[in-house]
Structure 1
């Protein structure tokens, strides 16, 4: 394995543990710990930690190693605000273009079915990934590649927020899935106002972190 590949492996592994909450906010993290878990040398792990620090997922200290940054109230509010702006803009564009309902179903049906399967299997990780893909599909339907790019930049933070919120209760998970179905129906009917009302409720589940 090349040094670059090893660094990428250490980065992806550690980042995934942070996003899923396996490494919670405030947790101490040592380079040696990741070296041992992945059987890697110190250099690629150090490079991974520098990258995670640049993304503000961890804070590095010469004395204490690394600390996982918690999701701050401000970060949660900012992510939700930007997500709402991008999604409402996409929905307005869809409503104005009025595509066939079948086209909307084709785009949203795949992540909805993945969510349903993950829900039945009790697989939170798969559910959260499909959750994010559902909203990404809505943005894509808007036909604005710049909006899709910015939405993708928010993906890791959205996944982390979703894990925090949806892991708290099966009731919340079931409600989230129902709301996705309602949003899909509204979009198929070109009902931007109806979609926005459900989206407001949907996003409000995350506001407890804000």
Structure 2
């Protein structure tokens, strides 16, 4: 609760809208209005508008003047495009995180790994998504490369959204295993192993995406 109070309203609005889009509570291809989102979040017009602008830049919503906000559609084939764009950046982040990881980042990695394992045991898909996002944030902090982290963040969000739509009912344990292996390599400061685990994680996700595209 204390952290939420300290978090800027625009950031809170962004995180909540991102969650609603990723979990399809704001359904793909539907139209929302700024007013309805303000009411739903219980936040002011300015922070919600700032969050919408950020989501539009990331390709999660399309602002249509006088028509509303179009939630990005989900086409299975686009998951492959997202992962092709994401793959190289994730390897860069993994290598850099293994080289520069700090104690604060290490604590975040430990917390993300524990949350992910608990989510698997409880079959808690939403908890798993939250842990996955926490892992991405730890990776961004540890890597000390704002350019790569800014490129990766929207791709990671799009990927989570596709995963939730097409893969959430299977493979939770296998996905957690790959993520935890990546965390372990980073905490051991093993750059080569971290890069390999990032590649394996992307390969697993790409296999899921290929299956979704051929359904």
Whether the TM-score (by the shorter chain) exceeds 0.5 is yes
Do residues 28 (structure 1) and 22 (structure 2) align? no
Larger radius of gyration: 1
Flag structure 2 segments of 5+ consecutive residues without an equivalent. 1-7
Match of 2:88 in 1: 85
Cα distance between partner residues in 2 of 1:186 and 1:119 = 21
RMSD between aligned residues? 4.3
Report the alpha carbon displacement of residue 33 of structure 1 after superposing the two structures with TM. 4.0
Secondary structure (helix, strand or coil) at the match of 2:70 reads: strand
Match of 2:172 in 1: 173
Secondary structure (helix, strand or coil) at the match of 1:206 reads: helix
Q: 1:202 to 1:34 in 2, by over 3 A?
A: same
Q: How many matched pairs?
A: 200
Q: TM-score, normalised by structure 1?
A: 0.65
Flag structure 1 segments of 5+ consecutive residues without an equivalent. none
Shift >6 Å, 4+ stretches: 5-10, 102-105
Do residues 191 (structure 1) and 193 (structure 2) align? yes
The CA deviation string for residues 24-77 of structure 1, in whole angstroms up to 9 with x for no partner, is 212232455446545789x66994696254543334556754432213456533
Cα distance between partner residues in 1 of 2:35 and 2:100 = 55
- Which deviates the most, 60-69 or 13-22? 60-69
Q: TM-score, normalised by structure 2?
A: 0.64
Cα distance between partner residues in 1 of 2:51 and 2:172 = 32
